[in-house]
Each structure stands twice: as C-alpha cells, then as structure tokens.
Copies of this chain bind each other. A is one copy, B any other.
Amino acid sequence: MSRFQVTFLPYNTSIEVAAGQSVIRAAMEAGVHINASCGGDGGCGKCRVMIEQGQVEGGISEHLSQEDRDKGYRLACQAHVNEAVTIRIPVESAIDTSALLRQSPRQTARIKQMDLDDIKEQGLFAPPMEKLYLELPPPSAGDNLPDISRLVNYLRIRHEERGLEISLPVIRKIPSVFREQDFKVTVTVARPVRPSGKNQIINVEPGDTTDSNYAVAMDIGTTTIYGQVVDLGTGEVLAEAGKFNGQISYGEDVISRIMFAEKPEGLETIHQVVIETVNQVLAKIIKQSKVARECISLLTLAGNTTMTQLLLKVEPRYIRRSPYVPASRIYPHIKACDLGIDLDDHVTALVYPQVSSYVGGDIVAGVMGSGMYRTEKMTLFLDIGTNAEVVIGNRDWMACAACSAGPAFEGGGIEFGMRAAKGAIEDFSIDPETLEPMIVTIGNVRPKGICGSGLITMVAILFEMGVINNQGKFDRDLGTDRIRKTKDIWEYVLAYKDETQIDRDIVINEIDIENLIRAKGAIYSGCMTLLAEVGMGPDDIEQIILAGGFGSYVDLEKAMVIGLLPEIDAGRVNYVGNASLLGARMSALTNRIREEVVGVTNMMTNFELSETPSYMDNYVAALFLPHTDVDRFPKVKTQMEARRQALVDLRLSASDSN
C-alpha cells in the first residue's frame, strides 16, 4: 500500500501514513491536536483544517461555508490522505504550545506473529496428525490375516512404523472402509511427542485423502472464544472467528463463574454453555474455511485454569478458595466428541497444561507461542485480559504470577467504560490552552464510551498536561467548563450529549481514574514483586512481550507515563495479540514444540502474590502516576519536568494576555 507524507503547520511536524488514512488520525499519530468531539463522524464540525499544499479526498461538509471551502478548509475527520499534503491547523491562540506537544509520534508495540517459514526452516513443522496413503494387498486364501494385522504389518514393513495403536471405533470402521476402494486407504496417525511414544491410528478413509488434513485451534477466553481452522499440510490459517463466551450471562469473571458452578447442576450447565459457544465458533470457522468437517483431525485448546476446568467439567470450587488448588496441571488427550464438541469421533483434543489456579493454559500457550521459552533474552511477558498474568524469565527459568487487576482495562468499573467496539473512544488529545479534547472512536462514529487503550491514553495525557495530579485528582482551578463536579465527583467532559450516541455527556471522572490506577498498580507491582523475588530489577528486562485483547492499541509511551509498564525502549516491546490462540495454533503445527510444553510448564515457578509479603507495599507505592518513586521512570520524569515548566509559562502568558 502506498504511503504519503503529511506535514502539519504551524508545528512543522511530519508523519507518513497509509493511503486513505483520515487527516484526524494522521494528526493523532503525529501528536498534533485538533479539537474534535464527535469521534470522527463529521457531526461536530470542530476539526477544521486548511489544506495548504496538495489535495485531500473528501472533507467537505455543511459545517463549512462555501468561502471556507474555497479557501481550502476541510473537516479533518472526513478528509483522507491520497498524496503528500501540507495541512495547517487553525490555532485559536497565538501562544506557541509546541513544547507541550508529544515529542514522538504515537508508538505501539511491534506486532510479532508466528513465522511459518521460520518454523519450517528449523525443521519444527511436524503436525501431531499425519495422513498416510496406503495401497494394501487385498486378502486371499493364502493370506487371510485379520484386517488390522494386514494394516499394521504393512505399515511396519513399508513405512517402518512402530508402536502402533488402534482404538475400537477405528477398528469398527476398518472392515468396510478397506473394501470400499479395494484396500486403498488413507490412515490418520496421531504422532507422539516423544519418539518412544505410541503412534495412534485415529482414522481410516477410503482412497487418497492426504491433501485434506486440518486442525482447529481454539482460545477459550473468559470473555471471548476464538477459533482458527488450520491446514496441516501448509500450516496456513484458513479461517478465524470469535464469539462471546456464552458463560458471560453467568458472570463476567472467573470467580462468579466458579460460584455459579458450585450451585446444584451449576457445573453441568456452565460446561454445556461453553461447549455451545465452542460449537458455534466451530460452525462459523468451518463454514468460512469451506473445509469438510470430517477432514478435521485435531483440536488444540488453550484457556485459563478456570475456563479449562469448566470446559472439561472438572470441579472448579477449590480454585477460588485458599490455598487456591487447581485440579490438575496436565490433562490427558481427550476425544473432542466426549466433551460434546461437534467434531468427528476420531478428533483428539489437546489441552494446554496449567501452572496454577491463576496462571493457566492460556499463559503457557503464550509462553510457547511467543517463543519466550526459547529465547535467551530476559523477558517480561504480560497478558492483560479480564485478569493479568505476568511471566518473567527466559529459556532457562521462568517465574509467574497472576495480578487481580480488576476489569478496568476491559471497561469494567469505568462509568463510560466499554469493550473495544464501534463507538469506543480509542484515542485522545487535549489542547494545552483551551483544554478542548480531540477524540477518535473505533469506526469513526459518535462516541458511546471509552475502551481500555483509550483510557490509558486519556489518563496519561490528562496527567502530562497537568489536568490531573499524580494521585489522579483534577486541578480544580483550570477555568474550563469541561472540568466540573457532578454528584460530588469531579469529572472531565469528553463529549457533550448532542455529540454522542447515548444522549448523555460522556465523561471521565476521578473514580474511573482511581480504578485505572489501582489496575495498573496491581500489574506493575506484580511485575516488581516477581522481579524482586527472583533477585532482579526492571533494568534487567531485555524485552517485553505483550499479549491480550488490547495490547496492539496501547500507546506504549502512555502506558509508561501512567506507570503500567516499566520504562523500556518501545522497540523492545512486542505484541503477540491473542497469545493463547497463537499457542494453540502452534500446538497444531508442531510436535517439536508440544514436546517441550510439559517441561516448560513444570519450569514455570508460580508465586501467589497474596502470599508474598512485599506485594502489598509494592502495590501501595504504585498507586500514583507513574509511581511514588518517579525516579523509576527517568524518561517520564524528564518530560514531565519540561512540560510542567512549559505549562507554567503557558498559563502565565495566558493570564497575562487576558
């Protein structure tokens, strides 16, 4: 895709964007503020900009008079970049606020996905299910061995296969399948992870079907269940889809699900519900991929400990009771159909092992899928979802812990919090002088609420601009109507009701900010406690791997400004997306990696933060922006000092000019 340079005046800030990008998003990326309250749907008409060189596509609106249009004014949210352009932002004040603008463009984590070619080159591509086409000699009077003996002997002699096992359902199929195409058959062999293991013949089909061999990889999330259809011949993903976990109606988090499961018939009910969602996702991706259901021979699953136990219908009540004991670390191979999953009865389900009650198979999958278990680099792996889990270590050792971060990052406990869906404010900036906001929503529609990554940016910028202090309290003396007290709670108005979809003012208030601070404090202090337990400090971290729902949208600099992440060069942060799904897919593609899963799981030393005395001290110290001890964030500290001085100057000159 072509990319074009956009230069913003009067700041003379340039950025390169992809063709078709809206001007307002280009500005946001560049750290250039343009007043905008309607989320990008052209409704407020505030984001007027003047095109000085080049042309943009669109941006003409009834909010602009013919005269303005002729002068080159356009609405930034409606205008799209299709060539190099120079754009002037009308500055309402003459004061130079450039010092207050972001120093660097928005930085998100580099997305690191699975590199199939690399896996193949390393000789790691070895799916657990292999299909072999065989032309067996038909029986005769002089050779009337049982069908199974015929098959096993042939495989032993012609294919040097050893340690073969065949289950009764496959034996039941064999007599008729063998005779359907005159003893020409395709067998599906489940390969063991260790050479000493058994090779199980899990299916037999007439004729040659070796080019139709598929797996389904699934992430059983507390909120969402994602699935992929994977071609075991090529390793490619043929389809992917997700659906909300139907268990949501029984509780948002794992604790409430466990509590439901403790009721009479509760476990059976909540187990059935998740299986139903699994089957819906399956139906969706199978349809999408156009693969025949009977050609799927493998299902790989990853989920947290509670989700795994509910999926497998294993009593979860001891997970939530001290001393927090899960049922099992490792689960055996299971027949997918035995769980009620709509797959043929030969399909094996492989379930990722768990470390502890709150560090589950999704995290193990992430550690495997992200390659953390193979790297020499000292790594901080952080999965922020409904809960947050931390893993520190590298290929030699690993320590892990779960943080009760609460649901703030997913919109829980935030008055206008919402999931990252259409209408969620995902990016934010503020005019340092007028304190007018610039908001951009997912889907460029009028705002409905604030998603996790938007919230982080918002709190960071409010803090950077001195609108809130390091305890998250608003400066009561800034002289703007946007900061106000409603029902005894101070708040900042992001969008007035006529600019929203919900006919109410959308605000961020001090309780929201406090909840975010608690959440980031829990995660940061979790990381610090864990580091301290293994005798290390934040400086020892060589890379961060971010996983989870919102990871790719988070502005890393902002995450460091609020003290969610330790300060590190943004280039050393990788985002792996849904690590659980990634790990599940990895399992479907390579026995070489599966082979190491149990070893890695056993290597992951679990720390119960609630049992670690220093955790509470670390937590309390982290309930500030960015932290009680700002020296832990030297870059933030330097920027903050520079900005604070600029703000003082700005506000002084503003009061002068009044």
Contact = CB atoms under 8 A, between A and B. Distances in A.
Interface of A: 139-149, 165-168, 171-172, 174-176, 179, 312-315, 317-318, 322-332, 334, 338, 354, 356-357, 608, 611
A148 B323 contact: no
How many copies the complex holds: the figure is 2
B147 A323 contact: no
Contacts of A338: 168
5 shortest A-B CB distances, which residue pairs? A148-B328, A144-B323, A175-B315, A146-B326, A141-B323
A606 to B, nearest CB: 8
**Most B-side CB within 10 Å, residue of A139, A143, A149, A168:** A168
B172 A322 contact: no
**Most B-side CB within 10 Å, residue of A165, A327, A611:** A327
Given A141-B608, A175-B314, A314-B171, A148 B329 contact: yes
B327 A148 contact: yes
B312 A168 contact: yes
A490 to B, nearest CB: 41
A614 to B, nearest CB: 16
B139 A325 contact: yes
Contacts of A172: 312-315, 327
B325 A146 contact: yes
Nearest to A149: B329
Contacts of A179: 318
A530 to B, nearest CB: 17
26 contacts: A139-B323, A139-B325, A140-B323, A141-B322, A141-B323, A144-B357, A145-B325, A145-B329, A146-B325, A146-B328, A147-B318, A147-B326, A148-B329, A165-B332, A171-B327, A171-B332, A172-B312, A172-B314, A172-B315, A172-B327, A174-B328, A175-B314, A175-B315, A175-B318, A176-B315, A179-B318
A255 B139 CA distance: 20
Contacts of A315: 172, 175-176
A327 B147 contact: yes
A360 to B, nearest CB: 11
Contacts of A313: 172
Contacts of A143: 323
A329 B175 contact: no
Nearest to A328: B148
Given A165-B332, A175-B318, 19 more contacts: A141-B323, A142-B611, A144-B608, A146-B325, A146-B327, A146-B329, A147-B327, A148-B329, A166-B332, A167-B332, A168-B312, A168-B314, A171-B312, A171-B331, A172-B315, A174-B327, A175-B314, A175-B325, A175-B327
A308 to B, nearest CB: 11
A394 B332 CA distance: 42
Nearest to A354: B146
A156 to B, nearest CB: 13
A325 B172 CA distance: 14
Contacts of A608: 141, 144
A328 B153 CA distance: 12
Contacts of A331: 168, 171
A325 B171 CA distance: 13
A354 B317 CA distance: 47
Contacts of A166: 328, 332
A176 B313 CA distance: 13
A132 to B, nearest CB: 19
Contacts of A322: 141
Nearest to A144: B323
**Most B-side CB within 10 Å, residue of A140, A315, A334:** A315
Contacts of A145: 325, 329
A621 to B, nearest CB: 24
A144 B317 CA distance: 14
Contacts of A325: 139, 144-147, 175
A529 to B, nearest CB: 16
Contacts of A324: 144
A646 to B, nearest CB: 51
A187 to B, nearest CB: 14
A324 B147 CA distance: 11
Contacts of A174: 327-328
**Most B-side CB within 10 Å, residue of A315, A325, A611:** A325
A129 to B, nearest CB: 19
A180 to B, nearest CB: 12
**Most B-side CB within 10 Å, residue of A142, A149, A331:** A149
A608 B144 CA distance: 10
A175 B319 CA distance: 10
A315 B145 CA distance: 16
A98 B317 CA distance: 87
A141 B354 CA distance: 18
A143 B611 CA distance: 11
Contacts of A329: 145-146, 148-149
A266 to B, nearest CB: 14
